[in-house]
Amino acid sequence: MLIMLEQTVKRILEAKVYDVAQETPLSPAPFLSARLGHEIWLKREDLQPIFSFKIRGAYNMMAHLDEDARRRGVITASAGNHAQGVALASAKLGIKATIVMGNNTPDIKIRAVRARGANVVLHGDSFDDARVFAEARMKAEGLTWVPPYDHPLVIAGQGTVALEMLRQHPGPLDAIFVPVGGGGLLAGIAAYVKYLRPEVKVIGVESEGSACFAAARKAGRRVRLPFESLDLFADGVAVAQMGSHTWKLARRWVDDVVTVSTDEICAAIKDVFEDTRSLAEPAGALALAGLKKWAERAPPGQRLIAIHSGANVNFDRLRHVAERAEVGEAREALLAVTLPERPGAFRRFAKVLGKRAVTEFNYRYAEASEAQVFVGVKIAERSDRPALVAQLESAGYAVEDLTDNEMAKVHVRHLVGGHSAAQIPERLFRFEFPERPGALGQFLGVLGTRFNISLFHYRNHGAAWGRVLVAFQATPADRTALRDALTATGYRFWEETDNPAYKAFLG
């Protein structure tokens, strides 16, 4: 392993990245530092020409190609930052590049890649679809594959981030937090840091819904996560399995891994904005989310760096991020509360809350003795939630804490309006489907007309995957046929019929 470490460090020192990449600043985060009681810096890879660190690895590998490989051209599959890195590198080096992207890739990313001269081919609805198609073209046309993370030269290019950080921060340093997808950035940084400054901790950060490195550490070997379990919110790191090269380095030289939720990522995006006025993409703020979570358990005064790895975010996603940031910062609790259906009930509820601010209140008259309300309440910190629930319960209210309920946050808060009046029972399902022009109509077409839809909610989040909540009328005898029909759509889905938010507001 020591030989592999030395070889990686040598490649990092010899990396050819600065023809196109910039040495990005290590910026202090004064507001967050003061709030958390630590010295925090952000490595600003969002300031690269493609707004992401990915240019380093892509260019370094392509700059090492021999003349024959350059003449034949390169190909890759990517819907994000790696695609832009390969496109920019190809323009600089005069190499023909083909980038295969899914049909659901947002237009802003397609335009960015085409603007740099690459040939964009749209195929399939997922990264795996695009990759299989690209690999077939690679073999048929004799092209060179440029992997997004799993290659020694790509790892070395990404590792130049660590070279810069240790030069920019020569003083005492406790830990560096690195976002983890396929592991190229993590492996490169870990190798360089552990070779020169072994006392500095290197900590990987993963999204809870795509934690392939954490799963591999637990199993002692690389693990492939099932696609249906992947959370695609932080799409830049939504990888089912670490690379082989990256795993060999990361398993030995990375100290720890932290997993974070969607809400915690959204809160970190807000923190980045408040300290830098930069809008991080979800994967770009991932490392900071992990730093914050780790720092809660650490003694004060730690000196910490988080990699701000990218800023390629669709503007339409920001409203969803803003909605989730307060929950992620533990500054808002979302509750289902039962109020008596009579005049003055809301006023009494507000008096019980006292000086706590109400951030949201959803209610519709239902002609019953009790009313279910969906309410958001400002809180000071995470530990304040149980106290708030206890306070309301002691005043005689029935309360369900929905703060961690994904369906409630994505759908129900926009749907509160009454229960089903149908005589036939409902079954409720949450779907994710490829987001592209006409996708919603195609989704409905695939569902067919056999089962009546009694509830439907869709809201565009500016992402590559749409999210839909659907209720179908189905008798107990129909349930197996219904699930078979939904499985046949090929879309990811989860049944939510027993979700307490559904029972409180919609069922």
Active-site annotation holds for 293: no
Whether 339 and 346 have beta carbons less than 8 Å apart is answered as yes
**Angle of CA points 36, 39, 42, to nearest 5°:** 100
CA distance 23 to 11: 17
Active-site annotation holds for 309: yes
1 SS3 class: coil
Dihedral of alpha carbons 251, 253, 256, 261, sign: negative
For residue 136, give every residue at least 6 positions away whose Cβ sits within 8 Å of its Cβ, in sequence order, or none.
Answer: none
Structure-block tokens of residue 505: 């507001």
CA distance 192 to 423: 65
Considering 78, 126, 261, 309, which one is annotated as catalytic?
309
Structure-block tokens of residue 237: 């790191």
Whether 399 and 337 have beta carbons less than 8 Å apart is answered as yes
CA distance 234 to 80: 11
Residue type, 322: A
Structure-block tokens of residue 183: 């592991």
441 burial class (0-12, 13-18, 19+ CB within 10 angstroms)?
A: exposed
Whether 319 and 295 have beta carbons less than 8 Å apart is answered as no
Q: Per this entry, what is the length of the chain?
A: 507
Considering 16, 43, 52, 54, which one is annotated as catalytic?
54
Residue whose entry in the numeric block shows the structure tokens 């779907």: 431
| Residue-wise burial string across 328-353, b where 16 or more C-beta atoms lie within 10 A, e elsewhere | bbbbbbbbbbbbeeeeeeeeebeeeb
**Of 192, 171, 193, 183, which is closest to residue 214 (Cα–Cα)?**
183
- Which residues are designated catalytic? 54, 309
